[in-house]
Amino acid sequence: MKKRILCIFFMLLLCTGCGVSNEEMNTESQKSAVVVTMPITSEPEAGFNPIFGWGAGEHTHEPLIQSTLLTTTNDLEIGYDLATNYTVSEDGMTWSVTIREDAFFTDGERVTAEDVAFTYNTCKENSSVNDFTMLDYAQAENDTTVTFHMTRPFSVWPYTMALVGIVPEHAYTSAYGEMPIGSGRYMLKQWDKGQQVILEANPNYYGAKPKMEQVTILFMEEETSLAAAQAEQADVSYTSATYADVELSQYHLLSVPSLDNRGINLPAQLPETKENSIVYGNAVTGDIAIRRAINIGIDREAIIKNVLNGYGSPAYSICDNMPWYQNASQVEYDLEQAKTILEQAGWIEAEDGIRYKDGIKASFSILYPPSDTIRQGIAEAFAKEMEKLAIEAVPECVSWDIAYDMAQSQPMLWGWGAHTPMELYNIYHSQYDTQKARYSPYYNKTVDTYMEEALKSTDINQSYELWKKAQWDGTTGITQQGDIPWIWICNVDHLYFVKEGLSIPQQKIHPHGHGWSILNNVDLWEWSDT
């Protein structure tokens, strides 16, 4: 109770700091303003600067302050923002983009192709968050045409163009992230670091005028976010399955589907130690029978019900519901068949209730990061599912500074999910000459080749078929019938308490990260007159 009171007191302090009384805030909110809470981790460390990852990276969303060349629709089709057209050369090495002539930065200067070229060239030189190695350089041909010269074909370039916000060359300084000038739907009015951000509608925006003219974002812990809703000091408060059943008289629960998935890597080779002293592979999960049995032997629906209170959906790949999803990824829960697979492979249950094969005990750790109760809960539920298979999975909390190395030899519970096929590439494609994927040892030359060919395609829609083949081509791949080096468990719904009277249009499926994605269409939010 004491903690709850402190949380509410903190919220009231914030509102006082904004210089707005409760009565004034509520009156204004019913017109064209909204207050939204977000996790503390959503606050951009480098400020609102696309060069350093604002608008992209792990928590993928379109920037609100800057415009992007392209955008993605609710159906994840490619749409236009600053751009009016784009073409790609037959060899995939040159992209030409035409931009609109009626876009202006908030300082009154027109947005030109020079600004676009400057933004992308600066990203290539300075970005530490996103990969721009596929870009050689960007060049403005005239005021409205920019050409991207590539180092290699990269069919998913449109998804990059839907994430990178355009900055003004004439006004870009090292302090840009704190005082951004953009041409997007909103302007940054105020940023109190560690507390809040206030956005105001850009009066010179070239698109439709935002219905929501002021957006205040409060950064806070999950319990504080709940307290904000209980005190009616926020209009939209993020929450999780832990608090989803809390009843708030003036709010309803909004559940947004996501591809924010939770999955477990199963090191797909036998152990070996490299010169860096890191162990790659696992004597248990290196057996494909173990991996296939686990994939069909876990009750995903039960985990979702018990850990997420039902707010989630079963996951069978890293790209469920995406245009490049391979239907062959889906499997049916079949505990008895899973046991049969193990027994036929020589994994026999012993007196201690654990299976053994050739003296090897079917036992491994299941790693999860600290301060994440949902992942901890899923890890523990997964361990319970493994007991049914007579496999010992021991949940182990490890810090991120050692987790990546440990995951090369032990299964770990991860969170992924992005609006781009590159998520597949980053997880399953081998690195350089190592013949090992980045996050867990796996290599399949055919899978690598399909993904490489997909990137070389000059038609993004046709490339989807190659991404699907990389998952399963009828003979090999990463699905149940293939190598199954990862097990995907669930997609976590993103949950929010929304004040009655506030209308939020349909959201496109959210990526990994319970943060800024909710604001992708905040310009369309509106309050009812009642």
Section 375-386 average pLDDT = 97
The share of the chain scoring above pLDDT 90, in percent, equals 82
User: Residue 12 pLDDT > 80, yes or no?
Assistant: no
Q: How far apart are CA 267 and CA 271, in angstroms?
A: 9
Task: Give the DSSP H or E segment for 217.
Answer: strand 214-220
Find all residues with CB under 8 Å of 173, minimum gap 6, and list them.
none
Give residue-wise pLDDT tens across range 50-102.
998 887 654 446 679 999 999 988 888 899 999 999 999 999 999 999 999 99
Give residue-wise pLDDT tens across range 449-481.
999 999 999 988 899 999 999 999 999 999 999
Contact, 481 vs 328, CB < 8 A? yes
Categorize the per-residue pLDDT at 31 as very low, low, confident or very high, splitting at 50, 70 and 90. Answer: confident
Q: What domains are defined for the chain?
A: 1-48+184-257+494-530 (3.40.190.10), 66-183 (3.40.190.10), 261-491 (3.10.105.10)
Task: Identify the CA nearest to 264 among candidates 300, 226, 229, 233.
Answer: 300
More confident residue, 26 or 317: 317
Residue type, 111: V
Q: What pLDDT sits at residue 130? A: 80
Task: Identify the CA nearest to 103 among candidates 138, 69, 77, 55.
Answer: 69
User: Residue 359 pLDDT > 90, yes or no?
Assistant: yes
245: Cα separation from own chain's centroid: 25
Contact, 448 vs 288, CB < 8 A? no
385: Cα separation from own chain's centroid: 27
Q: What pLDDT sits at residue 62? A: 65
Length of the chain: 530
The DSSP code sequence of 224-262 is HHHHHHHTT--SEEEE-TTTTT---TTEEEEEE-B--EE
Secondary structure of residue 136 in the 3-state scheme: strand
Give residue-wise pLDDT tens across range 94-138.
999 999 999 999 999 999 999 999 999 999 999 777 889 999 999
Angle of helix 373-388 relative to helix 288-297, nearest 10 degrees? 110
Section 13-23 average pLDDT = 44
Q: What pLDDT sits at residue 427? A: 97
Section 251-262 average pLDDT = 95
User: Residue 184 pLDDT > 70, yes or no?
Assistant: yes
Give residue-wise pLDDT tens across range 411-424.
999 999 988 999 99
Phi and psi torsions of 86, nearest 5°: -150, 150
Categorize the per-residue pLDDT at 14 as very low, low, confident or very high, splitting at 50, 70 and 90. Answer: very low
Q: How far apart are CA 264 and CA 108, in angstroms?
A: 50
Secondary structure of residue 461 in the 3-state scheme: helix
Please list the alpha-helical segments (H only) found in 63-213: 113-126, 157-161
Give residue-wise pLDDT tens across range 123-179.
999 977 788 999 999 999 999 999 999 999 999 999 999 999 999 999 999 999 999
CA quadruple 25, 26, 27, 32: dihedral sign: positive
